[in-house]
Amino acid sequence: MTSVDCANGTERCAEAAAMLGDVADIFVNLQGDAPLSPTLAVEKIVERLQQDNEAAVSTPAIRCSSSMYLHLISDEAEGRVGGTTAVFNSAFRALYFSKRILPFVPRTRAADEENVPVCLHLGLYAYRRAALEKYCEAPASRLEQMEGLEQLRFLELELPVSVVELDPLGWDVIELNNPSDVPAIERVLAERGID
């Protein structure tokens, strides 16, 4: 078990990696609030770090279907914190993560598109050991504290975060951020035949 002093999952992974010693080059952080994340995402983020020597961290983001986007819009309209969105460049380097819906898409355009140009960040990470060590040596960053998003510390430390963009799946990937998310998650699990 990790210390109660760990402020987030990344700090817990760093502590666990230090306790385990030299057993691996890449460490994966799975988040309990993302029960609808596909297994494929774990494989893809590990592959990305194995192929991209410059990346310190890799993490998945899924392009929103219209229904996922509307779920985010509904959460925002009701004053709830919805999912986290990821913005990245053409080389798949993360530019920013936010609990706001980024980039801005006019609702008329989003309603007309099968897949809106918004990517929902899935809270899974693959880290290099050195990235975990640098992360823990630094204090929580200003943006990390404002947004409540641990991965922003990597960006402020200028450690490259590689985003694995996934196409929409056959189900909506909804994270457990609010009690009102439980019925939607249970519905998706039932539709997929998962008890």
- Name the residue among 2, 44, 23, 27 with its Cα closest to residue 131: 27
Q: 119: which strand partners?
A: 63, 86
Q: 94: which strand partners?
A: 88
Can you give the pLDDT at residue 88? 98
pLDDT in tens, 72-111: 888 888 888 878 999 999 999 999 999 999 998 876 665 5
Please indicate whether residue 73 or residue 164 has the higher confidence score (pLDDT): 164
Place of tokens 């140009």: 117
- Strand 57-65, strand 161-166: pairing: parallel
Can you give the pLDDT at residue 115? 62
DSSP state of 4: T
State the first-to-last Cα distance of the chain, in angstroms, to the nearest integer: 28
pLDDT value at 135 more than 90: yes
With a CB cutoff of 8 Å and minimum separation 6, the contacts of 167 are: 62, 63, 115
- Confidence tier at 1 by pLDDT (50, 70, 90): confident
Helices assigned H by DSSP within the chain: 9-20, 39-51, 66-77, 107-112, 129-137, 142-147, 152-156, 181-191
Please indicate whether residue 2 or residue 73 has the higher confidence score (pLDDT): 73
Over range 51-64, report the average pLDDT.
Answer: 95
3-state DSSP assignment of residue 173 = coil
pLDDT value at 169 more than 90: no
Over range 17-37, report the average pLDDT.
Answer: 86
CA geometry: angle 183, 144, 84, nearest 5 deg = 30
CATH 1.10.357.10 fits 9-191, yes or no: no
Can you give the pLDDT at residue 112? 59
- Confidence tier at 148 by pLDDT (50, 70, 90): very high
Among 42-46, 143-147, 175-179, where is mean pLDDT lowest? Answer: 175-179
Domain regions of the chain by residue span: 9-191
Token reading at 183:
């019925």
- Name the residue among 73, 78, 94 with its Cα closest to residue 163: 94
Provide the percentage of residues in the chain whose pLDDT is more than 90.
Answer: 49
